[in-house]
Amino acid sequence: MSQSASCLTEKYGEIDKYIDNLPSLRGALVTVLHQAQTIYGYLPEELQLHIARRLNVPAAQVYGVVSFYSFFTMEPKGQCAISLCMGTACFVLGAGGVLQEFEKELGIKAGETTPDNLFSLDALRCVGACSLAPVVLVGDKVYGKATTSQVRGIIEEHMQRMAKGGGSNE
Amino acid sequence: MSKRIGSPEELRELQVKLAPRTALRLSPAEREALGIPAAEKMNILVCGGPACKSTDSDHIITQLRVELQKAGLAEEVKVVPAGCMGYCAQGPVLKVQPDNTFYVQVKATDAAEIVQKHILNHQYVERLMFHHPASGAPCRQEEDIPFFQGQVRIALRNCGVVDPAYIEDYISLKGYQGLVKAMEIGPDATVAMIKQAGLRGRGGAGFPTGTKWEFTQSYTATPKYVVCNADEGDPGAFMDRCIMEGDPHSVLEAMAIAGHSIGAAEGVIYVRAEYPLAVQSLQTAIKQAEEFGLLGENILGTGFNFSIRLNLGAGAFVCGEETALLSSIEGNRGEPRVRPPYPAEKGLWGQPTVLNNVETYANVPAIMLRGAAWFSSYGTAGSKGTKVFALAGKINNIGLIEVPMGTTLDHIINHIGGGIQNNRAFKAVQTGGPSGGCMPTALLQTEVDYESLTQAGSMMGSGGMIVLDEDDCMVNIAKYFLEFTVDESCGRCTPCRIGTKRLYEMLERITTGKGTNKDIVDLQELGDIIRDCSLCGLGQTAPNPVISTLRYFKDEYIAHVEEHRCPALACTELLTFTVVADKCIGCTVCARNCPADAISGVVRAAHTIDPDKCVKCGICLDKCPTKAIIRY
């Protein structure tokens, strides 16, 4: 923590404002972390320490909560977030194979981000679109009845989209 | 101008005034049940469930409106973005009312034909109707389609009818009049009514709802809280999502009824952050209910105060357990604690709390409106009313269904579900998610209710129902659920944290051919220990997938262990790939595609696979033009 207090105030001004406007700090930790992740994309150590000080709770408690819930991430996500549903319906219809193919093509495991920060890969719990199983989500786009042979095409489609500068989570 | 409704009388007047909004969307029977008069114009209801939305139902809505505009009918015919109608397998689906005509697999490009033919010329579009799989005859109405036969919609009554973005729709169907009834008859009579109806918790354990309310009512400490568990975590279950997205007000009204009954002024909905549409739908609904004076201070001028706020979950299956959920709302790790004291006595912030799940609440306003006797006329001796199931897996009619308790598994799977995909053979049905079990063919006549499922070694759970066919390995299915549980165990108690991990490791050994008979014995023994010693429901039920498959499919475990063979050919490490020499034409496609260089042979001569090098990827099997490669 080499940065000075004033520098942090500037960096985390937005979450500070959110905390200042909360009617009560009682039980606010999870809500604040949700907001912080929405603003900054992920929850690095420095931000966790900052939130701990602002809410006047031990840093261990903040880290305990962040590491407990799968929704919170301490690593930045790629520009293009690929998520696979691993609900039971998707599993019995071959989602495991599709995930393996994505892992092979991207060279990363589920939960990781490619070194160039373009793609991150995640296995989700059920998304509730079981009639489309196996389901792949890329940003808001849904690919239903996905097969291993579609994997390369999906990646290429979003590579091109990002190359055009449109981002992929439209 | 204030939208506030000042009294119960004003609410009833507003309902009569608004009734024409939705009268068009109901079938004659539904209209009669609610006492709403018929109307003349037309409505097109488009399903907005998760599957239909993912296949572009929003685009169909836009296109229908464009076509109606062109035809000069924009005022006459209303296109309603409604909630889930259930028939996901045939999505996107829509319904033209009051003609009661149901169209399936609709595309945006069909909008012109629907408007031209059906709306303008009063001719049905036969090609968009569901065609009966046996007779091939078109089925115009839902009643004619096997999927809807035997279904009764109570919790889902408004899904697919109301536009969730407008509270007026809900009010027009006598929404919030259940709350009025509760205020008129008073807390004791309300609790008695819920008890008499026999409503039990739809989230898993099936505890009687009225009794839960009565306990909470009996404690004098204040403030009290009403909490809704909307952290639907079971993989393969999405009924709560559909209710929140398609009919949010029924949950809000029920929570207000609960609040009035137990003496609470504050409600919290703990909803999954992974359901952004549900969160949005609830937020809109809460705001509108406040504007109409149906939530907040001095509701309907009666002096009753009740507000509801949302609390986002953050992805932890264990938060479905009530004490873990409350801990999470308090901003902590979602770890369960020992009960008693139960939340009825010491819940949120240590205060008396009523906690029910979404589907349970969705039943409450209907009970208040139509009476306990009506509700309990459905169901079995111990389980009253209906249950919503998310039917999925290897079944033809994947979708969301609601059936009276006591409906047989056979009716659900073979009639409503339309049997198994691709003419494969049924092997088992899994209910209750990671806490449930698998039931084989011999149990298909089981009448589904809380007791019968528990007796069969499974459980009701939240209503996921996954159908498995002959290609599914039961050991592998058990392993899938255990992997889930290992991941989701909060780690607080040892039997669950370490026990489930050891169970998983044994299953891993068995599915890779390294298991022994001792592993099978140990699975059973350790499963019993975890069940008996775990702190909360997650751990206590975690061994169920293993124990139930051991009970009904032990021969599959034995085949893996003794013969190193997977009867369903699902466990790849146990497979052997070989070339049938007679069929091989020596084209070399397999050898060129093999990633492990395991296939050798010369052109136009039979090839061979080296089993030591083979990585069992199956590429050769897919590529072979003469199907000369087999696996066993």
Where a domain ends, among B322, B357, B376?
Answer: B376
Report, in this order, helix, strand and coil percent for chain A, each rounded to 5. 50, 10, 40
Residue A14 inside a domain? The answer is yes
Residue for token pair 């991430």: A73
B61 and B125: one domain? yes
Whether B150 is in a domain gets the answer no
Residues B425 and B532 in one domain: no
Pair (A90, A47) in one structural domain: no
pLDDT for res B38: 66
pLDDT at B469: 96
Distance from CA of A124 to the nearest CA of B (A): 9
CA B7 to chain centre: 36
Q: For position A32, which CATH number holds?
A: 1.10.10
* Mean pLDDT, chain A, integer: 89
How far A161 CA sits from the closest chain B CA (Å)? 20
* Mean per-residue pLDDT, B346-360: 97
Query: Which among B55, B312, B333 is the nearest to A64, CB-wise?
Result: B333
Residue B568 near chain A (CB below 8 Å): no
Domain interval for residue B440:
386-469
Residue B569 placed within a domain:
no
Size of interface A-B (CB pairs under 8 A): 125
Residues of B in contact with A129 (CB under 8 A): 50-51, 54, 88, 238
Of A14, A48, A68, the residue at which a domain comes to its end is: A68
B375 touches chain A (CB under 8 A): no
Is residue A118 within 8 angstroms of chain B, CB to CB? Answer: no
CA distances from B270 to A53, B252, B265, B351, B471 (A): 26, 13, 17, 17, 38
Task: For residues B441 and B527, state if they share a domain.
Answer: no
pLDDT higher than threshold 50 for residue A169: no
B572 → chain A, closest CA residue:
A97
- Complex ipTM value: 0.90
* Partner A contacted by B324 (CB < 8 A): no
A56/A128 same-domain check: no
Mean per-residue pLDDT of chain B: 94
> Could you tell me the residue range of the domain that residue A118 belongs to?
80-163
Nearest CA in chain B to A86: B235
Residues B459 and B486 in one domain: no
What would the mean pLDDT of A31-60 be, rounded to a whole number?
A: 95
Q: Residue B233: what pLDDT? A: 82
Contact A128 B477 (CB under 8 A): no
Mean pLDDT of B324-346: 96
Plot region of B627 (φ>0 → left; ψ -120 to 50 → alpha; else → beta):
left
Distance from CA of A117 to the nearest CA of B (A): 23
CA distance B493 to B366: 40
For strands B464-469 and B386-393, give the pairing. parallel
Q: Which of A26, A68, A130 sits opposite B238 (nearest CB)?
A: A130
Residue B124 lies in a domain: yes
Give chain B's domain count.
5
Structural domain includes residue B161 = no
Residue pair A168/A162 in contact (Cβ under 8 Å)? The answer is: yes
Do A103 and A157 belong together in one domain? yes
Write down which residue in B435, B469, B503 finishes a domain. Answer: B469
DSSP state of B416: I
pLDDT at B515 over 50: yes
Helices (H), chain A: 5-11, 13-20, 29-40, 45-55, 59-68, 88-92, 95-106, 151-163
Domain co-membership, B462 together with B490: no
Which tokens hold the place of B454?
């528990």
User: Cα separation of B39 and B162, whole Å?
Assistant: 16
Q: CA distances (Å), B576 to each of B563, B566, B572, B612, B618, in order?
A: 13, 11, 8, 10, 10
Interval B223-265: pLDDT, tens: 999 999 999 888 888 999 999 999 999 999 999 999 999 999 9
User: Nearest-CA residue of chain A relative to B421?
Assistant: A93
Contact B334 A87 (CB under 8 A): no
**B179, B365 in Cβ contact below 8 A?**
yes
Nearest CA in chain A to B471: A92
Q: Are B482 and B509 in contact (CB under 8 A)?
A: no
Q: How confident is the model at residue B40 (pLDDT cuts 50, 70, 90)?
A: low
Which one of A68, A87, A142 has the shortest CB-CB distance to B54?
Answer: A142
Which residues from B are below 8 Å from A30, CB to CB? Answer: 311-312, 314, 328, 331-332
A52 within a domain of the structure (yes/no): yes
> Cβ B311–A31 below 8 Å, yes or no?
yes
pLDDT-derived band of residue B173, with 50, 70 and 90 as boundaries? very high
pLDDT (tens digit, 9 = 90+) per residue, A114-166?
999 999 999 988 887 888 999 999 987 889 999 999 999 999 999 999 888 75
B235–A86 C-beta distance less than 8 A: yes
Q: In percent, how much of chain B has pLDDT > 90?
A: 88
Kindly report the CATH number assigned to the domain that includes residue B616.
3.30.70.20
- Residue B324's contacts (CB-CB under 8 Å, 6 or more residues apart) are B316, B318, B334, B335, B336, B490, B536
If asked whether residues A98 and A60 sit together in one domain, one would say: no
